[in-house]
Amino acid sequence: MKEIQAYQMTGKDKPFEQVAIPLAELAEGEALVEIAGCGVCHTDLSFWHYGVPTRHELPLVLGHEISGTVLEGPADLKGKPVIIPAVLPCGECELCKKGRSNICQSQKMPGNDFNGGFASHIVVPARFLSVVSDAVLASHSLAELSVIADAVSTPYQVIVKSNLQEGDFAVVIGVGGIGIYTAQLARIFGAKVLAIDIAQEKLDQLSEIGISGTLNSKDLDVKAIKKQVKAACKEMGASPFCWKIYETSGTKAGQELAYALMGIASVLSIVGFTLDKLELRLSNLMAFDGQVIGTWGCKPELYADVLKLTAEGKLKLKPFTDTFPLSQINDIFQQTLEHKLLKRSVLTPDF
């Protein structure tokens, strides 16, 4: 094998171009992975359409939600099905040693620092590859599992980080993409979940995983939304205190609403990303003794927990993913941008 087939980004809003990239000899500690699937994430749209710069100059192959099979590399990994963490830490720095490896300042992100997963193969550091067990593959294709690399693992980490407890009232704002998994995981952790979105079809999906607490906030002002959220909390028998709020929409409106919902001893987790700025009264945090936390990716060591939940059938991926040939990448990106696709898209190589 001498080259990798891929679709690369050449500029903002420009069509992805099919290219052949020469394959260099593997360095010590690297692995060559044959890609099974790569999910399309809002971060990819941020690079392609919204003007967020990639750390590696263009042209660049995007894609960081990747699953595949190790072809070459460390002997103990050869032939193994794996998920590639969306952020690959160095494992040696101060942050890594303090348990904050997800924000390691020497981390490498596929599709940002180097060529990513919208390709036939990828070369990555092998140290933190997450091996997929037969128990997981018994009920899922390897391609379907690619979404774990970000859409599932990122909300898993933030739910752990927010110290969500059984019986807590969890409000998830925006249940497309990452949000659908945030809501699922909050329920798995035993929370009483209320999902908020402006798209009824997204809220309707939640019935497939046993979540009935939903609120369509379209055409409602913040005051009306707050009133309905408080009513839902009371109806569910949850405490009016210590709410756990997860902002996953990545919109200004969603973030403003999330902050407005904060109350006594609440924790707001910012999971979605937007370039828009907000005007906030930070003194609310003092008055409520509240917390606002962020999350970036997921520590590789938490991936095993997510895979275990998937193997046990507690975490559902199939109802919320669709696979498409990678050759349709331009059409899928455009449809994703226009909010025409209800489920998470996974692109599978068809070179």
pLDDT confidence of residue 121: 98
pLDDT confidence of residue 322: 95
pLDDT confidence of residue 84: 98
pLDDT confidence of residue 274: 86
SS3 call for 181: helix
Residue 122 near residue 4, CB atoms below 8 Å: yes
Give the burial class of 205: count Cβ atoms within 10 A of its Cβ; 0-12 exposed, 13-18 middle, 19 or more buried. Answer: buried
Class of domain 3-150+298-348: alpha beta
Residue 18 near residue 6, CB atoms below 8 Å: yes
Residues in the chain where the model's pLDDT stays below 70:
none
Residues of the chain with CATH 3.90.180.10: 3-150+298-348
pLDDT confidence of residue 309: 96
Angle between helices 178-188 and 153-161 (to 10 degrees): 50
pLDDT confidence of residue 28: 94
pLDDT in tens, 253-284: 999 999 999 999 999 999 998 889 999 999 99
pLDDT confidence of residue 275: 85
Which two three-digit tokens encode residue 33? 């992975």
pLDDT confidence of residue 64: 98
pLDDT confidence of residue 41: 93
154-294 placed in CATH 3.40.50.720: yes
State how far Cα 34 lies from the chain centre: 22
Contacts of 119 (CB under 8 A, 6+ apart): 4, 5, 6, 7, 21, 35, 38, 61, 63, 326, 349
pTM (2 d.p.) = 0.93
Give the burial class of 98: count Cβ atoms within 10 A of its Cβ; 0-12 exposed, 13-18 middle, 19 or more buried. Answer: exposed
Residues of the chain with CATH 3.40.50.720: 154-294
